[in-house]
Structure 1
Amino acid sequence: MLRVGLTGGIGSGKSSVSGLLAERGAVVVDADRIAREVVEPGTPGLAQIEQRFGATVLAPDGTLDRPALGAIVFADPAARRDLEAITHPLIGIRTRGLIEQAGPDALVVHDQPLLVEMGLAPMNHLTVVVGASERTRVQRVVRDRGMTEQDARARIEAQAGDVARHVVADAWIDNDGTPDELADRVAALWDERLAPFEDNLRADRPVLREVCATVVLHEHRPEWEARAARVVARIRHQLDAARIPYAGVEHVGSTAVPGLIARDVVDVQLRMHRFEDGGDALAGALRAAAIVGLREQEVRPHDWAPRPADWRTLLAGGADPRDVLRVHVREDGSAGALAALSFRDWLRADTRERTAYSELKSTVAHQFSSHDYPAAIERWYARALPRAREWAQSTGWSPG
């Protein structure tokens, strides 16, 4: 199933977005609702809370007195940790149960208010953030929740800010406008991204290149590093969850070099200690990170490392139609793995070579179609690799 993490600050309109996605057929798993369910009267959660904090945290009708409990835990970090030790496992069990009940054909939207604060983004295939200006959010909270403006601003300041949310956001929905404008944005997200994303994931169909006949090159974009960081975090999380050992995951390729023009394609290298360490589980772990189509890539050895095994590469791609991604799986210490890292660092360090490569890219882009461009660039790459290797040896470079 496609699993989408949905978050946004108080007053952003996150609940409106989850409702619109549910109308489109998504199965919404609401973290706030689950948190309330696991402490309802008669549940083990409420019994454990009463045992730890006493009957003073219960209302006369036997329900949890949330303000009373909040006054205790917000003033005492140890008490808050005790509360989390009770509720978090129960929330996790209930969440997993609801997701399993949704079935393998579901598109699951996990509504997680604290997704950023708790570092949960890598658990999802895609993270969607709903945003609005502070002014708009304050107005909504005062109008809809009966808070004072001072209390509304205090609640907003206590949550993660927009900078932190942008770091994890694969998609950002602006909700400063009207309900109709929000509905149009959610519809576009569903039709142009979520539905084809789900299709690609089910079909194990990677998106490995931009869909255009001509090559489009861009000046370096800081967002490339942010995109790569999200991919790396997802891969690491899923490999760790599957207990698959690995040596490293890093952003490589042209988008990893500031100052170098590049296509809007992010390359990530996964270094395994041995290919055998992943086994059949590797493809499943990558798929859980929205990376599909793992297969053997045809590679050509270079003279200074003539053994084909030194260049063996497994290639996979992202399933997200709006974020072209390639993942290259190589053995740690192999010629292919070292070449990718040293070539990147050489271009970062050598302005002259970086400029020459940019000029070459621009020339080749005008001469070749999008289909033929990679082969044309590969010929220059083959001639440039020995220079990168000499630089690495002369500077004492190591992959870190």
Structure 2
Amino acid sequence: MLRIGLTGGIGAGKSAVSGRLAARGAVVIDADKLAREVVAPGTPGLAAIREAFGDDVIADGALDRPALARIVFADEARRRQLNAIVHPLVGARTAELMHAAWPEAIVVHDVPLLVENGLAPAYHLVVIVHAPVDVRIDRLHRDRGMTTDEARARIGSQATEEQRRAVADVWLDNSGSLAELEKSVDTLWDDRLVPYEANIRERRNAWRSGRAEIVPHDPTWPVQAERIANRLRTALGERATRVDHIGSTSVPDLAAKDILDMMVSVRSIEDADAIADTLNDAGFPPNPRIRSDEPKPADPDPAHWAKRYHNNADPGRTVNLHVRVEGWPNWRYALLFRDWLRADAGARADYERHKLALAAEHGSYEAYAIAKEPWFDRALPLAEAWSKQAGWSA
């Protein structure tokens, strides 16, 4: 199933987004509702809170939420104490609901503290709902009766906008009308989430067509790559020895195709085959047409250039995922060329000129990739010379 993490600051409009996604067919698991469920009257959760915080947070046999909020939002240690009680209970209930969802489901996990608790890598996509602080304060005053100081305190206790942007695959602006927000959600559902789920289920790469267009360097490429790397590390665990952002998008100031090249390192080619299903489930179906890189003269044995290749199932983010054996020559060269180009401005400029010329001459992605190989052959001695001079190792 496709797992979507949905979050946003208090008052941003997350509930409106989850409601619209539910109306379109998503299975919504609301962490706030579960947090209420696990501390309802008569539950072990409520008993644990009473023991930790005393009778002052209980009213008529139920949890007095305003009283508890006044304690935990004024004292970080007490908030951590509350989280230690509630979070495991919510986690167990969440796992039950996810297990009960049908295999083709698009599951939206509505989590207020997704960013704060470092949960982003567990999802195929993270959707952030955002609104300016002044808009959120007005909403909290109007809808929840909070004073301005109370609203600012609640907002200040949560993740910053910068922290949310670092994990956001989708940024939904909710500073306008509800109709505008729902239109954005519908577009997300139709154009990205539905095809993404189908691509994973059918082990199909998202279709990539058109010319190999070179664009100016995007400073967000490394941030996007780190999100993908964190998902891969979470999915693969110790089966991957490392995960790297490679290729042109990993080199600052270098124009490139808007395609993130990622490399998963494994201990053997058999391990590369063994993780194929896991990578597919994580959103990277295998591409069996490519099974190796082009051998170079220093090690012409084709067996040492084998790899496994995966692409993106997500229609919204193009990725080439190379699974290579750590220590093999193709693994080493991928890291060598990246680090050399990062260090050598002249080589970087020469490569960019070459890329722009080839992209203009060769229309398709495949033809462009083949046409670049002679440049790599000519550049390899220069990269090797740099590695010796710099004392570089992978």
TM bracket, shorter-chain basis: over 0.9
Q: Aligned partners of 2:153 and 2:86: how far apart in 1?
A: 25
Q: Aligned partners of 1:215 and 1:188: how far apart in 2?
A: 26
**2:8 is aligned with 1:11:** no
Q: Aligned partners of 2:74 and 2:185: how far apart in 1?
A: 39
- Secondary structure at 1:222's aligned position in 2? coil
For normalisation by structure 2, the TM-score amounts to 0.94
Letter in 2 for 1:284: D
- Secondary structure at 2:239's aligned position in 1? coil
One of 370, 376, 381 as aligned partner of 1:381? 376
**2:343 is aligned with 1:349:** yes
Q: Aligned partners of 1:11 and 1:177: how far apart in 2?
A: 13
| C-alpha distance after superposition, 1:194-250 (max 9, x if no partner) | 11111111111123x7421x221111101111110000000111122xxx3332111
Q: Aligned partners of 1:121 and 1:173: how far apart in 2?
A: 16
Per-residue deviation, 1:132: 1.1
Whether the aligned pair in 1 keeps the contact of 2:9 and 2:158 (CA below 8 Å) is: yes
| Pair 1:368–1:277, CA change in 2 (3 A) | closer
One of 286, 308, 312 as aligned partner of 2:279? 286
Partner of 1:390: 385
- Secondary structure at 2:62's aligned position in 1? coil
| Pair 1:250–1:308, CA change in 2 (3 A) | same
How many residue pairs match? The answer is: 392
- Secondary structure at 1:160's aligned position in 2? coil
Whether the aligned pair in 2 keeps the contact of 1:253 and 1:267 (CA below 8 Å) is: yes
One of 244, 251, 258 as aligned partner of 1:250? 244
Q: Aligned partners of 2:233 and 2:277: how far apart in 1?
A: 13
Q: Aligned partners of 2:77 and 2:34: how far apart in 1?
A: 23
Per-residue deviation, 1:363: 0.7
Per-residue deviation, 1:346: 0.6
Q: Aligned partners of 1:289 and 1:392: how far apart in 2?
A: 35
Whether the aligned pair in 2 keeps the contact of 1:283 and 1:294 (CA below 8 Å) is: no
| C-alpha distance after superposition, 1:255-274 (max 9, x if no partner) | 00112110000001111123
**2:165 is aligned with 1:172:** no
Whether the aligned pair in 2 keeps the contact of 1:8 and 1:113 (CA below 8 Å) is: yes
* RMSD, aligned CA: 1.8
- Secondary structure at 1:11's aligned position in 2? coil
For normalisation by structure 1, the TM-score amounts to 0.93
Q: Aligned partners of 2:297 and 2:95: how far apart in 1?
A: 52
Counterparts of 1:352-367 in structure 2, within 5 Å, are 352-367=346-361
Q: Aligned partners of 1:51 and 1:349: how far apart in 2?
A: 59
Q: Aligned partners of 1:145 and 1:78: how far apart in 2?
A: 26
Letter in 1 for 2:257: R
Whether the aligned pair in 1 keeps the contact of 2:269 and 2:307 (CA below 8 Å) is: no
| C-alpha distance after superposition, 1:73-102 (max 9, x if no partner) | 455555444433322221111001111112
Counterparts of 1:115-134 in structure 2, within 5 Å, are 115-134=114-133
Partner of 1:259: 253
Q: Aligned partners of 1:384 and 1:113: how far apart in 2?
A: 50
Q: Aligned partners of 1:352 and 1:394: how far apart in 2?
A: 16
Q: Aligned partners of 1:300 and 1:8: how far apart in 2?
A: 46
- Secondary structure at 1:387's aligned position in 2? helix
Letter in 2 for 1:16: A
Per-residue deviation, 1:366: 1.1
Unaligned 5+ runs, structure 2: none
Comparing 333-342 and 303-312, the one that deviates more: 303-312
Per-residue deviation, 1:387: 2.2
| C-alpha distance after superposition, 1:163-219 (max 9, x if no partner) | 111110001111111111111111111111111111111111123x7421x221111
Counterparts of 1:128-207 in structure 2, within 5 Å, are 128-207=127-206
Letter in 2 for 1:232: A
Q: Aligned partners of 1:144 and 1:118: how far apart in 2?
A: 26
Whether the aligned pair in 1 keeps the contact of 2:269 and 2:306 (CA below 8 Å) is: no
- Secondary structure at 1:116's aligned position in 2? coil
Comparing 293-302 and 124-133, the one that deviates more: 293-302
